[in-house]
Structure 1
């Protein structure tokens, strides 16, 4: 098929056009590929920039869908980013907490509705990162429809740094507060001055020391604690310390609360800031220093009064102190202390004065004693000196390298020790010669000393005591020899009381062989206990015999009292009959009575009355001695009763040309037997009438004491000696031939018995030529 040129031309043009179009298309495609590659590179670059950026975007759409890079998922501790905001709570401890998610959701909704930005900071529970969220309304070109764009910043490192800074700041603040508190609480005054020397800060101790109301007052008034020294004020001295950049310390006085104190003041430059200062009260130290010096002086004065020689050498082995006994013992002059006599020279001088032991090699002996300065503990030696003198020498090394030398003269003590040994031997011989058995026990109960008769008294062999047995072992040996072995415990208690309780106790025990031993424990001054044992078998038998005889005598006396009581009753019946018949005859019932017959009947009645009174006295006395005296007590006024008894003796008083003085208060009420008490008072008045010569005076005084009523009957008659008074109370008198006989009547013995039956006492006081006083006390 043939084609025309036109067709060929058209085809050529068409091919050319297609070729051109294809070329254009290829060029355009090439440009698109290049642009796409550029976009892809830009996207990768942007993605890398986002990955390395400190913030990650979070797009929250209106429907709750979210868009964010996976980097945010790693920050939140999630495996991958969820599709919705509500799914940021992982539920397994990852993501946001429920509270954080609620706060974020509320903030996002508010931004979507009002376009108001928000900020918040969170720390996801599943992550250790600190995240800051800044939310704004998204640009419609990014996401139309009211989406919220939240930028999430990771400021973990900044937060850690801030936390560290906060912690350091808090620590520094606490340290500063503690330092300020320490300065405020310091017991010593402290202050701070500026570069101009003016006070800027003071603590409470400073305020209290200057007596100000507060620190502000001290600073405003510039109240100084320290007084000027050498014309320089404390501020000027502080400025000098600042200029020299050197701490200045000095001791200056100050007056606090009206008392002078010594302070050690220090000024410490603090560079260009100023000068700090503090003052330490050293008054106690100064007082202690003065007290120490006084004590040292008193101690050295006291050492001069001792009988023991004491000397002190310093670390250079020179003599710095020696008391008077030391100087006398070694024949040293007082210049030895002032000159600082060397120790080796001291030994040489002592040897020259014959105050060291005799030795063959003195230089070697001296070198050995110079080595005392290097000892670590005290060392003791005994120096026998010429002439029989014996010195006990003690070397005591001192912490400063010096040495204290003590020399004691033991000559007299050794002589006393020899004398003591002699006395001990004498004591042993004396104890062995005693009749008593003796033993000495130590505080631990061991037997220390005994005499020869001790073992035999307890029925023991001598060799059983040679081992010095204990008290328990000794009791085991003694127990079989006792009548009752269990009584051995009583001996142990006596020993224990003497040694441990330091009490004296005694006891009595019977042996199996019939002997009776009396023992006692006596504490000794040296802490030991003495056990004394005495065989009282013979005296015990004699005591038993005397006791039996006493019982027999008491029974015989009781029989006598009963006999007298019965006989008194038997006498009373015929006497009553005789008196009755005499009264009938005297009354004329038996016929006319002549004058002579009336005289006879009066004599009979008087004798009957006297005999009846004696019988009643014997009866009352016998009943009183037997404890059977009946009393009919009643309460009555004492003064009227005594007045009546005294007036009944008016006749004999007038006949004897005597005067009677009755005085006293009422005496109060007494409870007594009127009849028996009247007999006592009447008997005493009768005795006073009989013992008082014509023209004499009798006194009856009634009073009241704390114990009861008191009745005193006294006279100024001839009186009695102590022997006569004792016999009168016993109812005896001395006959003209000098023998003792029962006196007529039983007045005083019966009176004493009657008063004692009332629970009272009767006491007599008499002096020859001065009279007699009888005192009755009735409770």
Structure 2
């Protein structure tokens, strides 16, 4: 079958069109293949970017399906990401906790329904990974149907760093609060200045120190605690500390609480922040330092006054102090102390001066003594020197590593010890040579010491005493020798009183052989008691004779008393009778008398008066010497009393033309016998009138003194020599032959003295020839 040209043409056209179409399809397919490859490369690049991105997307569809990368699965602890959101909480403790999943599901549901974005932070259980979730409604182009897109951020490092920073911040805040509290509670003033050296912060101690009301007031008023020193204020000193970038410390005086106190002030630069400062009150430390220096000085002054040598060495074995006795003992040079003399050199120089013992190996001996510094124990040695001196050396280690050396010169003590031994032997020999029987008892009752006479006096065997028996044992031996054995208690009581009670007592006992022993217990300074015994048999006999003689004297005194009473009657009765008869004759009872008879009668009356007075004086003097003078004491106003005594002698004073001056304060009272005291003062006044020439002066002075009432009678008469005054004070006395009475200067002065002494007073008379006499009466 032949095809027509038209069909062939159509077929050619069809083939051409098909070829063209095929070519176009091939070209189009190649272009699309290139576009697809580019898309795949872009998709892989985007997927890689998402994998490397710090956030991973998690797509949650409306049905709960989830889409995400494997990296997110690894963050959540899964090998592969589950298909549904509810599976993120795995039963194998992988993924989220139920609480986290519940919260996430709720937030996703809310975002899907209301398109509300949400934020959530979770920490994957079992790991330190912290994830931040940022969720929102997904774009329809990403996922239609109301899916939620959750971006997951891994901020583990940021969370760790943030947690660390929070902890550090909290710790810093706590430290700052504690530091502020510490500064505020500090007992010392503290402050902070800015770079401009102005106060910015002060504590309460600073506020109290400056006497302000608040810290704000201090900062606002820039109240400084420290005063300006050498023209520099506290702020300027702080500025210097900031400028030189080093702390400044100084000791200044400040007024705190109205008192001047010593403060150690420190300014500490704090870089660019400013400068801090604080002040420490060192007033007590300064006072203690002064007290310590004063104590050390006083101690060294005291050591210089000791008789014992004392030297102090420091931890470097150098001499720091040596008192005068130490220097004298070791013949030290004056410059040795100033040079810090080493201990080894001191020993060497002491050896050269002959002040150390002679030893064979001196270097070894010196090294042994150097080891005293490290021994830690007290060392004591005796150093006999070549010149006969004996030293006692004591080395006392000190807490600071030093050493104190005490050197005592015991030469005199050893000599005294030898002398003591000699004295003990001498004492023993002396005791043995005494007539008294002596024994010394200790407080425990043992016999310690006795002499030879003790055994023979008390009749005790010497062998018994050699055993130093107790008091009870010795008393049993003595009791058999007494006339009355029960009197042995007296001996024991005397020994006990002397040894234990430390009192001195005594007694007597009679022995069976007729002897009488007198014994006494005497406490000794060493605590022992001394029993001293004396045979007083002869004294007893003499005492008996004296007792009998005393009885005879007492009887004679009674006879004398009766004699004085009789003599008082026998003297006064005749005189009274003579005076009475003479007065009768004068009155004319026996007739009128001639003028000559009247003169005779008047002479009789005058004589009777004088004799009566003399008899009264003699009797009073005798009674006073015998202690029998009766006194009737009463309260007397002294000035009126003496005035009356003077007026009784007014006629005699005017007759001689004498002037009498009576002085004395009022209200002076004494307790005395009016009659006897008037007689005593009258006798002294009579003597002054007699002894004073015409126109003379007599002074009577009354005064109240601390020691008593004083009456002074003085005149400017002829006066008396010392011999005449002695004889006047004696008055009457027994003549040398013993058969009569020798009259001296009368009875006035002796009687006045006896009367005043009977009142408990005292009479003192001073006289000088040509100047007069002064009599002083002192009454209690």
- TM-score in same-fold range (> 0.5): yes
Residues 265 and 556 of structure 1: CA distance in aligned 2, closer, same or farther (over 3 Å):
same
Displacement of 1:374:
3.5
Aligned to 1:515: 516
1:174, 1:537 → 2: CA distance? 106
SS at match of 1:187: coil
Aligned to 1:376: 376
Residues 716 and 489 of structure 1: CA distance in aligned 2, closer, same or farther (over 3 Å):
same
Is residue 2:637 matched to residue 1:638? Answer: no
Alpha carbons 1:696, 1:715 under 8 Å: kept = no
1:214, 1:176 → 2: CA distance? 21
Aligned to 1:251: 249
SS at match of 1:252: strand
Aligned to 1:553: 553
1:317, 1:628 → 2: CA distance? 89
2:283, 2:650 → 1: CA distance? 93
Displacement of 1:216:
1.1
Residues 202 and 442 of structure 1: CA distance in aligned 2, closer, same or farther (over 3 Å):
farther
1:686, 1:645 → 2: CA distance? 11
Aligned to 2:418: 418
2:714, 2:319 → 1: CA distance? 89
Of residues 526-535 and 172-181 in structure 1, the stretch that sits farther from structure 2 once superposed is 172-181
Q: Deviations over 1:261-317 (max 9, x none)?
A: 351637496x99987654333455466567767876887787778776656666566
Alpha carbons 1:571, 1:615 under 8 Å: kept = yes
Aligned to 2:504: 506
Residues 597 and 416 of structure 1: CA distance in aligned 2, closer, same or farther (over 3 Å):
closer
Aligned to 2:660: 661
Displacement of 1:217:
2.4
Displacement of 1:646:
0.5
1:713, 1:338 → 2: CA distance? 76
SS at match of 1:511: strand
Alpha carbons 2:728, 2:750 under 8 Å: kept = no
Q: Deviations over 1:577-597 (max 9, x none)?
A: 555555555666556756666
1:768, 1:401 → 2: CA distance? 86
1:296, 1:517 → 2: CA distance? 60
Equivalent runs, 1:395-414 vs 2, <5 Å: 395-414=395-414
Alpha carbons 1:264, 1:282 under 8 Å: kept = no
Aligned to 1:280: 280
Q: Deviations over 1:523-554 (max 9, x none)?
A: 63x67676666555545654554454344324
Displacement of 1:771:
4.6
Relative to the length of structure 1, the TM-score reads 0.58
Residues 612 and 320 of structure 1: CA distance in aligned 2, closer, same or farther (over 3 Å):
closer
Displacement of 1:673:
7.2
Is residue 2:232 matched to residue 1:234? Answer: no
2:446, 2:178 → 1: CA distance? 68
1:458, 1:534 → 2: CA distance? 10
SS at match of 2:377: coil
SS at match of 1:553: helix
1:188, 1:640 → 2: CA distance? 86
Q: Deviations over 1:24-68 (max 9, x none)?
A: xxxxxxxxxxxxxxxxxxxxxxxxxxxx999xxxxxxxxxxxxxx
Displacement of 1:255:
3.6
For these two proteins, the number of residue pairs brought into alignment is 593
Alpha carbons 1:440, 1:450 under 8 Å: kept = yes
Of residues 229-238 and 581-590 in structure 1, the stretch that sits farther from structure 2 once superposed is 229-238
Residues 190 and 433 of structure 1: CA distance in aligned 2, closer, same or farther (over 3 Å):
farther
Displacement of 1:382:
2.4
Equivalent runs, 1:709-728 vs 2, <5 Å: 710=711, 712=713, 714=715, 716-717=717-718, 719=720, 721=722, 725=726, 728=729
1:472, 1:174 → 2: CA distance? 87
Alpha carbons 2:329, 2:355 under 8 Å: kept = yes
1:301, 1:633 → 2: CA distance? 67
* Alignment RMSD: 5.6
Aligned to 2:691: 692
Unpaired runs of at least 5, structure 2 = 1-97, 101-171
Equivalent runs, 1:103-502 vs 2, <5 Å: 183-192=183-192, 199-210=199-210, 212-223=212-223, 225=225, 233-234=237-238, 237=241, 250-257=248-255, 259=260, 261-263=262-264, 265=266, 267=268, 278-282=278-282, 284-285=284-285, 356-360=356-360, 365=365, 368-436=368-436, 450-453=450-453, 460-462=460-462, 466=466, 484-487=487-490, 488-498=492-502
1:632, 1:299 → 2: CA distance? 67
Alpha carbons 1:224, 1:234 under 8 Å: kept = no
Displacement of 1:377:
0.4
Alpha carbons 1:262, 1:283 under 8 Å: kept = yes
Q: Deviations over 1:535-574 (max 9, x none)?
A: 5554565455445434432432332332343244345545
Residues 229 and 634 of structure 1: CA distance in aligned 2, closer, same or farther (over 3 Å):
closer
Alpha carbons 1:683, 1:751 under 8 Å: kept = yes
Aligned to 2:700: 701
1:597, 1:288 → 2: CA distance? 110
Residues 663 and 379 of structure 1: CA distance in aligned 2, closer, same or farther (over 3 Å):
closer
Displacement of 1:252:
1.8
1:407, 1:759 → 2: CA distance? 64
Q: Deviations over 1:310-339 (max 9, x none)?
A: 566665666777777767766777887788
Alpha carbons 1:209, 1:256 under 8 Å: kept = no
1:777, 1:193 → 2: CA distance? 89
1:666, 1:327 → 2: CA distance? 71
Relative to the length of structure 2, the TM-score reads 0.58
Displacement of 1:645:
1.8
